[in-house]
Homo-oligomer: A and B are copies of this chain.
Amino acid sequence: MARLRRLLPATSDAVHAGIGDDCAAVAGGKQGVLVLLKTDCVVEGRHFLASDASSAVGWKAACRAVSDIAACGGESRFALVTCVLQHAQTGRWLEGLYRGLSRAARVYQFEIVGGELARTDGPAMISVAMTGEVLRRKFVPRGGGRPGDFLYVTGVLGGSMRSGWHLRFTPRAAEAGWLTEHFRPRAMMDVSDGLAADLPRLAAASGTGFVLDPSCVPRRRGASLRQALGEGEDFELLFAVAPSRATLLEAAWRKKFPRVKLSRIGRLAPAGTAEGLERASGFDHFAP
């Protein structure tokens, strides 16, 4: 995207965070509030299968965007849904999709206010454009980490496709809200392309390097380290916290979210350092 970004006009003061962050954050009108903007799409054969229940596909399509907005410290507000579907995916299939979208809207308190239907002969695609809101002082960028910050990840990684987690995952919205309220992570993002791809992105955005401790990477039952690092579709939070807050954070987390694992997986380091990823290769949607 860096090359493409150069083709675009420079952005104005109204843009607090843009291309390269999980969400765009723009001046919203209300004093002290940023509006978060996010689009996220799922493509048949890549993010879901034709045989998957369409309600689960709807849930996933919406919750991916919820997850990104949460990772910026924000809350979802409004969504538009673009469905590019095959002939056979109208009728009951489409109703199921909308049931999944609706359920996500009820649970995560956003409103579906519009969208578009188009037809394709190729793989189906559902794109969700979502707005959110965050207090300016609570916005958590991807790039605010500093060398020495401890790195944490929620939940377990790997095996998301095989286990079905990718279709019925719980976006870490409650956890992200609590974290930003009480522990102000310096940098945060959600892990969607795999830790091996996303950790270097968080470090690069922060202008730092990283040291990962592979033995601390939390794995889903049956997942290898390579799978935990590289498969993606985890939708867990990855964040950096000042070391001075670590002890308090870990104790408070266990009390607040006893059923969601929190793992300290390493630390940010001076730029140029990249340790602990030798045994994995992430995948990038546009890797050559």
Which residue numbers of A lie inside 8 Å of B, CB to CB? Answer: 1, 3-4, 7-9, 11-12, 14-15, 18-19, 21, 23-24, 26, 28-30, 33, 35, 37-41, 43, 45-46, 77-78, 80-82, 84, 90, 94-95, 98-99, 101-102, 105-106, 111-123, 125, 127, 129, 131, 285-286
Contact = CB atoms under 8 A, between A and B. Distances in A.
A112 B114 CA distance: 21
Contact of A102 (B7, B90, B114, B123): B7
A4 B163 CA distance: 30
Contacts of A8: 98, 101-102, 105, 112
B9 A114 contact: no
Contacts of A12: 111
Contact of A99 (B7, B94, B102, B105): B7
Given A8-B112, A26-B78, A118-B285, 5 more contacts: A19-B114, A24-B113, A43-B118, A119-B286, A121-B122
A19 B286 CA distance: 33
Contacts of A94: 4
6 contacts: A9-B102, A14-B111, A26-B111, A28-B29, A90-B286, A121-B122
Contacts of A14: 77, 111
A252 B116 CA distance: 36
Contact of A286 (B38, B117, B129): B117
A129 B286 CA distance: 21
A27 to B, nearest CB: 9
A79 to B, nearest CB: 9
Nearest to A21: B114
Nearest to A17: B113
Contact of A24 (B28, B78, B117, B118): B78
